[in-house]
């Protein structure tokens, strides 16, 4: 069928086993993996203050073996960079990325003239597969000193 470009998005603030699992699974869906890193303002608006700045998060993610390219997302319409610049064949959503459901995102992309398959990837069952779990463990360990 030719070259398949996959897009994955996320914060990737404190890299952990869940991120690696997600990126490996996303890469297996195609021939090229482009990761959009949430910019700092978006992280603040949707979650919390980021621990690492977006440029550093993008540099770390770009260094990971499954990733071909990592870019920092822009402010505004988050679908613009996907539709106008990256033009993926497949969009991989993490198990906890609830902003879009696959069929609804496919429909939004189609409205803009872009056809892409959207896939929700499974969760990694691991004790340290989440940023909150890691932070809680750090606080337990170092809070006792």
Per-position pLDDT tens, the chain of length 145: 589 999 999 999 989 888 999 999 999 999 999 999 999 998 998 888 899 999 999 999 999 999 999 999 988 777 887 878 899 999 999 887 777 889 999 999 999 899 999 999 987 676 666 777 788 888 888 886 5
Q: How many residues in the chain?
A: 145
Q: What is the mean pLDDT of the chain?
A: 88
pLDDT digits (tens, 9 = 90+) for 23-33: 999 999 999 99
End-to-end, the C-alpha distance of the chain in Å comes to 57
Q: Which domains does the chain have, with CATH numbers?
A: 5-142 (3.40.50.620)
Looking up tokens 């822009």 gives: 74
Report the alpha-carbon distance of residue 27 to residue 23 in Å, rounded: 6
Specify the pLDDT at position 1. 58
Q: Cβ(19)–Cβ(40) under 8 Å?
A: no
Report the alpha-carbon distance of residue 96 to residue 109 in Å, rounded: 20
Residue 54 phi/psi, 5-degree rounding, is -55, -40
pTM of the model: 0.88
């Amino acid at each position: 069928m030719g070259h398949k470009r996959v897009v994955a998005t996320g914060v990737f603030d404190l890299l952990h086993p869940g991120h690696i699992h997600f990126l490996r699974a996303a890469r297996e869906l195609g021939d090229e993996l482009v990761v959009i890193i949430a910019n700092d303002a978006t992280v603040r608006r949707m979650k919390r203050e980021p621990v690492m700045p977006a440029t550093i998060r993008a540099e770390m993610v770009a260094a990971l073996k499954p990733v071909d390219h990592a870019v920092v997302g822009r402010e505004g319409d988050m679908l613009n960079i996907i539709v106008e610049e990256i033009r993926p064949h497949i969009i991989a959503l993490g198990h906890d990325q609830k902003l879009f459901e696959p069929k609804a995102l496919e429909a939004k992309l189609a409205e803009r003239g872009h056809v892409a398959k959207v896939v929700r990837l499974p969760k990694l069952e691991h004790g340290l597969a989440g940023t909150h779990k890691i932070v809680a463990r750090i606080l337990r360990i170092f809070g006792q000193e």
